[in-house]
Amino acid sequence: MKIFKILKTIFLSLAIVLFLSTIIICAIQSKDLIDSVAHVNDLLFTALITAFGIYLFAILGAFLLTAKSDIAHKIGHSFLIFSFLFGLTLFVSALGSDNMPLALIIMLIAIIMLVLYYICNLVIVIVNKNIPDAENPSDDVRIANIRAWKKVMEEGIISEEEYEEKRCKILGIKPKGDK
């Protein structure tokens, strides 16, 4: 399982580095396209701001993926996917440049790395059956649910048998009496 976690980190890092290098290549090459237009300064400024925004979303998404919160993870994934899709859209719209195939190849490799990252995540979830690491059980939502049901049992609202049934159901195990 550790190999998939290592691969996941490598794929994400490579995807971000390749993606950011593609944005740099596109920004450099788009200057040539912008030079032929009358409003050079306005378009160049807009292109640089857009590239910076995409950078910011990608980097912020990568940082949010390292957070412990599930909400931060979801926002991080959203930022990453948004930046990749927006970058790809800008890239495809600028396909008229002479040296664009290099950037296209790098962008496609970055997208493949991102897809491999999500495949590693999927393998980890399937193998773990969505069970968090045993190293930190306090982060496990199931344990919080079990504690809540135990409190309900201690208050006399449900019986010990009902509590045991709920606990086994939450943990996904068979009750002691069933075989």
Q: How do residues 34-72 score in pLDDT, each as one tens digit?
A: 555 555 556 556 666 676 677 777 778 878 877 777 788
- Looking at residue 29, its pLDDT comes to 64
pLDDT value, residue 154: 94
32 lies in some domain: yes
Q: Are residues 147 and 85 in the same domain?
A: no
| CA of residue 105 relative to chain centroid, distance | 22
CA distances 79 to 39, 86, 172, Å, are 31, 10, 33
145 and 97 within one domain: no
For the chain, residues with pLDDT lower than 70 are 1, 26-49, 51-52, 90-101, 103-104, 129-139, 177-179
Structural domain count, the chain: 2
Other Cβ atoms within 10 Å of 73 Cβ, number: 15
Give the pair of three-digit tokens for residue 108.
């496609």
21 lies in the same domain as 103 = yes
Letter for the amino acid at 37?
A: V
Residue 178 lies in a domain: no
Nearest-angstrom CA–CA distance, 85 and 63: 18
Tokens 């008229």 correspond to what residue? 96
pLDDT at 74: 82
pLDDT reported for residue 93 = 65
Q: 176 in a domain, yes or no?
A: no
Residues 102 and 141 in one domain: no
Residue 169 exposure: Cα atoms within 13 Å on the Cβ side: 8
Q: Domain limits at 89?
A: 2-128
Give the pLDDT confidence score for residue 131 in this predicted structure: 55
Looking at residue 47, its pLDDT comes to 61
162: Cβ–Cβ under 8 A, 6 or more apart, which residues?
153
